[in-house]
């Protein structure tokens, strides 16, 4: 069965510093990996996805994610954090069979000014 | 383009009462999902529709939950009777299959409180 783990409940970073939000996954076959962001009282919004190709995927709002097959990880990164990046971030995975996304429990990102 | 629309935004009911949630997906999206998000957790799939057919309802508690998607557009999720443990945010999402993967568009959700 496929699963996603986000080992950190919260990540704190100062504005202007780089940020990393961690995600590891387990899936049969090749993974389809996603990051979504949830702002307060808003629905989840798509940030980026990895299907195949380059291990570094670029997405919305300056975010990128690095796929590492040997470590079964898909960490979300941004070179310079903004206060407005503060939100709840979810990693998600599905398998090639096309089943629905399985989400991690989420990581709260807090960027201080 | 309008996004996924859900109503109501909030619902407070007493246990054992029925409740229904409505979702209007993005026009042209043939896949519709209902997820439940408990406090401090990620969304968990309840049911997935391809057009009007429920293709994955393995996680739907069928003794009290039901869903329908008539004509393959709008969808309704019902709970009868509601229990205290059903308090959560119910999210609807829709997608159109693009090349190699799916990008889900989520509504703002219905926050259910069962007293």
Q: Which tops the pLDDT comparison, B96 or B113?
A: B113
DSSP letter, residue B101: B
DSSP letter, residue A99: P
Contacts of B94 (CB under 8 A, 6+ apart): B4, B25, B26, B29, B31, B32, B33, B104, B105
Q: Report the Cα–Cα distance between both ends of chain A, in Å, rounded.
A: 41
- Average pLDDT value for chain B: 92
Query: What residues in B contact A32, CB-CB < 8 Å?
Result: 100-102
What CA–CA distances, in Å, run from A102 to A3, A7, A90, A91, A98? 7, 16, 10, 8, 11
Whether A43 and B107 lie within 8 Å, measured CB to CB: yes
Looking at residue B40, what is its pLDDT? Answer: 87
Nearest-by-CA chain B residue for A51: B100
Whether B56 and A42 lie within 8 Å, measured CB to CB: no
CA B110 to chain centre: 9
Pairing verdict, β B10-13 and B110-114: parallel
Q: For residue B100, is pLDDT > 60? A: no
Whether B108 and A41 lie within 8 Å, measured CB to CB: yes
Looking at residue A110, what is its pLDDT? Answer: 97
B100 → closest Cβ in A51, A102, A104: A51
B56 → closest Cβ in A4, A44, A100: A100
Q: Is A55 helix (H, G, I), strand (E, B) or coil?
A: coil
Mutate one of B101, B105, B108, B111 to test the A interface: name it (highest A CB count within 10 A).
Answer: B101
Mean local confidence (pLDDT), B70-90: 95
CA atoms within 13 A of residue B75's CA, in its CB half-sphere: 34
Q: For residue B99, is pLDDT > 60? A: no
Q: For residue A41, is pLDDT > 80? A: no
Which tokens go with A60?
Answer: 């919305």
């Amino acid at each position: 069965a496929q699963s996603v783990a986000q080992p950190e409940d919260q990540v704190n970073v100062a504005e202007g510093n780089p940020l990393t939000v961690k995600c590891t996954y387990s899936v049969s076959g090749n993974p389809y990996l996603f990051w979504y962001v949830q702002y307060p009282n808003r629905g989840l919004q798509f940030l980026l996805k990895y299907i195949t190709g380059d291990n570094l995927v670029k997405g919305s709002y300056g975010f990128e994610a690095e796929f590492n097959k040997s470590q079964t990880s898909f960490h979300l990164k941004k070179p310079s954090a903004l206060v407005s990046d503060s939100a709840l971030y979810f990693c998600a995975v599905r398998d090639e069979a096309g089943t629905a996304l399985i989400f991690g429990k989420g990581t709260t990102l807090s960027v201080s000014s | 383009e309008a996004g996924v629309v859900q109503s109501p935004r909030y619902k407070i009911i007493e246990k054992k009462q029925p409740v229904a949630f409505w979702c209007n997906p993005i026009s042209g999206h043939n896949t519709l999902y209902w997820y439940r998000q408990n406090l401090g957790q990620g969304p968990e799939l309840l049911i997935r529709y391809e057009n009007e057919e429920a293709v994955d309802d393995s996680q739907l508690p069928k003794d009290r939950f039901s869903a329908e998607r008539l004509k393959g557009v709008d969808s309704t999720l019902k709970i009868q009777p509601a229990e205290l443990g059903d308090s959560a945010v119910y999210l609807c999402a829709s997608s159109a299959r693009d090349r190699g993967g799916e990008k889900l568009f989520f509504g703002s959700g219905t926050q259910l409180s069962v007293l």
